[in-house]
Amino acid sequence: MSQSFSALGLSAELTRVVAEQGYTEPTPVQAQAIPLILEGRDVLAGAQTGTGKTAGFTLPLLQRLATMPARADANAQPRQRVRALILTPTRELAAQIEESVRTYGKYMKLKSTLIYGGVNINPQIDALRRGVDILVATPGRLLDHLQQKTLELSNVEILVLDEADRMLDMGFIRDIRRVLAVLPAKRQNLLFSATFSDEIRKLADGLLHNPAMVEVARRNAESELVAQRVHPVDSWVKRDLLVHLVSSGDWKQVLVFTRMKSGANRLSEYLCKAGIEATAIHGNKSQPARTRALAGFKDGTVRVLVATDIAARGLDIEELPHVVNFELPNVPEDYVHRIGRTGRAGSSGEALSLVSAEERPLLAAIEKLLTRRIDKQIVEGFEPGKTPQPAATATPAAPRGSHDGNRRGGSPGRDARNRGQAPARSGAPAPAPVRAAPPQSPPRAPQRPRADAGVATAALFRSPARRGG
């Protein structure tokens, strides 16, 4: 794919800016979406952060506004001519998008403004009064303005719902519907979402007219910029393998995904005890706490950020050198979303998955979605079946995902690699077993590999790419 921006139909002002940004060629989502948006089509795009989607809708949106005569609603106040409304779930994203609008629109005469909650509303009211062509907003505060009648949306020509899935996850559907109700019926609609749940489809059905589909998530997963690898490993050895990978690779910034909040917490505690600065991010942490954690991660004081899918979705983090799936997600599409955090346009990234025998069905589902196999590599010293399962988890009743199970008091593993698993490391009372959520297909009774079952377990993962072990 080597296509120029001007070939997509973008004007000289825009191709100039794009060149200044150092973009040499459009990303796949840009190549597909830009011509469609320029034509005036409604678009439903499956694209996640890191694909270049922001420029994918901002560039053609700017061009449309610059070339179309503004619609004049006789009832609207003269300066209240919001012509494009971009709704997005978080203030970070809103700020990022508005920044992009300013950057890409710098040779044009269009005015943009940013509206989000948690800050004084008055400066926003002033900015709206001064006149706005492009409004970037989070839904809650936008509604506040509508209710206070400090905002008029009857001139909107283009509506963008960015990260629509996240907006729904965050409970914005009602707010979105209330905003939609005050928009003029005739407008262009662009809906961007990383995933397509039934709820998103329902929203899209009611919103989009004869939409053109743009789907790049899968292609992104196939991106050569993201090196993907699976490390087969026993679940109870995962934490030590992670410590080993971070230390031996001297990784400075790694985002680690777990399935559960509790697992995220305990993993970050474990890493800290092993001398690796780590923080967990949960959905129920306050916004300031999340901002602090994120700032620490960005400035390098926190090397490892442990997050669940939902928590990570609210975070403005991307372009990471390393993403680790400590546990595979239950939904294969989430894998694509996770690894999309690495290796965005122009930079490379590595996405590693620590996969225990119990997670094989999840891995199979992901490989099916990607329509290819991910390289498997057993790390020397961490071969599946090599380390006996700690006694505390070796009972038949042990939950799946027993990497957490081995924290339930009892005697710590005796193996040298379990040295970090001192019972006192969390200082907390014995936590309830963390149960990994079941994969989509019902799990078979977990086969607890015994030490002597190692060969069989390893064989499950054997692939030509494997080395060592």
List interacting residues with ligand AMP (CB under 6 A).
23, 26-27, 30, 49-55, 344-346
**Residue 8 Cβ vs ligand AMP, minimum distance, rounded to whole Å:** 11
Cα atoms in the 13 Å half-sphere on the side-chain side of 204 = 24
Beta strands in 23-63 (DSSP E): 43-46
Q: Which two tokens stand for residue 248?
A: 């031996």
State which residue, 107 or 466, has the beta carbon closest to ligand AMP.
107
**Residue 101 Cβ vs ligand AMP, minimum distance, rounded to whole Å:** 12
**Residue 255 Cβ vs ligand AMP, minimum distance, rounded to whole Å:** 15
State which residue, 220 or 265, has the beta carbon closest to ligand AMP.
220
State which residue, 25 or 144, has the beta carbon closest to ligand AMP.
25
**Residue 97 Cβ vs ligand AMP, minimum distance, rounded to whole Å:** 8
State which residue, 5 or 270, has the beta carbon closest to ligand AMP.
5
State which residue, 156 or 345, has the beta carbon closest to ligand AMP.
345
State which residue, 20 or 205, has the beta carbon closest to ligand AMP.
20
**Residue 192 Cβ vs ligand AMP, minimum distance, rounded to whole Å:** 9
Q: Beta-carbon neighbour count of residue 204 at 10 Å?
A: 19
**Residue 17 Cβ vs ligand AMP, minimum distance, rounded to whole Å:** 11
**Residue 21 Cβ vs ligand AMP, minimum distance, rounded to whole Å:** 6
Using CA atoms, how far apart are residues 376 and 467, in angstroms rounded to an integer?
Answer: 9
The DSSP secondary structure of 98-143, one letter per residue, reads HHHHHHHTTTS---EEEE-SSS-SHHHHHHHHH--SEEEE-HHHHH
φ and ψ at residue 424, rounded to 5 degrees: -80, 0
**Residue 49 Cβ vs ligand AMP, minimum distance, rounded to whole Å:** 5
Closest of 313, 294, 319 to residue 195, by C-alpha: 313
State which residue, 216 or 357, has the beta carbon closest to ligand AMP.
216
Q: Beta-carbon neighbour count of residue 210 at 10 Å?
A: 6
**Residue 4 Cβ vs ligand AMP, minimum distance, rounded to whole Å:** 11
**Residue 23 Cβ vs ligand AMP, minimum distance, rounded to whole Å:** 3
CA–CA distances in Å: residue 178 to residues 142, 153, 340: 10, 12, 32
State which residue, 29 or 260, has the beta carbon closest to ligand AMP.
29
Which helix H or strand E contains 362, and what residues bound it? helix 360-370
Q: Which two tokens stand for residue 67?
A: 């070339």
The DSSP secondary structure of 311-353, one letter per residue, reads HHHTS----BSEEEESS--SSHHHHHHHHTTBS-TTS-EEEEE
State which residue, 21 or 447, has the beta carbon closest to ligand AMP.
21
Which helix H or strand E contains 256, and what residues bound it? strand 254-257
**Residue 456 Cβ vs ligand AMP, minimum distance, rounded to whole Å:** 43
State which residue, 314 or 449, has the beta carbon closest to ligand AMP.
314
Using CA atoms, how far apart are residues 324 and 260, in angstroms rounded to an integer?
Answer: 15
Judge contact between 226 and 195, C-beta under 8 A.
no
Residue closest to ligand AMP when measured from CB atoms:
54
State which residue, 300 or 346, has the beta carbon closest to ligand AMP.
346
Closest of 330, 341, 340, 400 to residue 365, by C-alpha: 330
Judged by DSSP in three states, 376 sits in strand
The answer to whether the Cα torsion of 16, 18, 23, 27 is positive or negative is: negative
Edge-first strand listing for the sheet containing 254-257: 278-281, 304-307, 254-257, 322-325, 349-355, 226-232, 375-376
Judge contact between 458 and 383, C-beta under 8 A.
yes
